[in-house]
């Protein structure tokens, strides 16, 4: 157990830093803010957290799926939610690109469920990319 103490301390301190940053009102860089949705969707974080608590109670491995989905969305040209698009008759989708074929379908369903919950309470105020990022962050914090 003693050999795990440094690792545990690093993890706990990292979580404290992340959670303290989520309460900050100071912009990360000009134009970005941890509290961007505080007026347009004040319950955003609790909507996501409550849904993910339910999801992760049944399967904690979904946190890894959500983190990976977020990574694949942000990998090439920044986070834009395009990995969520399932394509149409007019063209291919990112979901069908070879690197994305192994993304968990359950992660896509979780994001779709979150989008519906958030839209019900906040309208179309929250971007898909932000929902994906928030779901990845919250799921990792919860597990």
For 18, the token pair is 């992340």
Sequence-ordered list of residues with C-beta below 8 angstroms from that of 115, at least 6 positions apart, any chain = 128, 131
The active-site residue out of 21, 51, 70, 72 is: 72
pTM of the model: 0.76
For residue range 53-93, what is the model confidence (pLDDT) as tens digits? 999 999 999 999 999 999 999 987 788 888 888 766 566 77
For residue range 91-131, what is the model confidence (pLDDT) as tens digits? 677 787 777 888 999 999 999 999 999 999 999 999 999 99
Q: Is 72 a catalytic residue?
A: yes
Instruction: Please name which of 72, 61, 76 lies closest in space to residue 110, comparing C-alpha atoms.
Output: 61
For 10, the token pair is 């690093």
**CA-to-CA dists, residue 64 to 26, 49, 54, 117, 133, angstroms:** 29, 16, 16, 21, 13
For residue range 4-23, what is the model confidence (pLDDT) as tens digits? 444 554 444 444 444 444 45
């Amino acid at each position: 157990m003693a050999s795990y103490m440094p690792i545990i301390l690093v993890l706990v301190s990292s979580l404290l830093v992340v959670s303290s940053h989520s309460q900050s009102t100071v912009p990360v860089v000009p134009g970005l803010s941890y509290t961007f949705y505080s007026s347009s969707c004040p319950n955003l974080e609790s909507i996501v957290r409550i849904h993910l608590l339910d999801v992760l109670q049944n399967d904690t491995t979904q946190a890894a799926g959500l983190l990976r989905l977020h990574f694949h969305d942000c990998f090439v040209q920044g986070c834009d939610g395009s990995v969520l698009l399932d394509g149409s008759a007019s063209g291919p989708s990112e979901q069908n690109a070879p690197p994305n074929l192994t993304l968990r379908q359950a992660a896509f369903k979780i994001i779709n469920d979150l989008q519906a919950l958030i839209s019900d309470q906040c309208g179309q105020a929250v971007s898909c990319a932000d929902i994906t990022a928030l779901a990845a962050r919250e799921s990792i914090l919860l597990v």
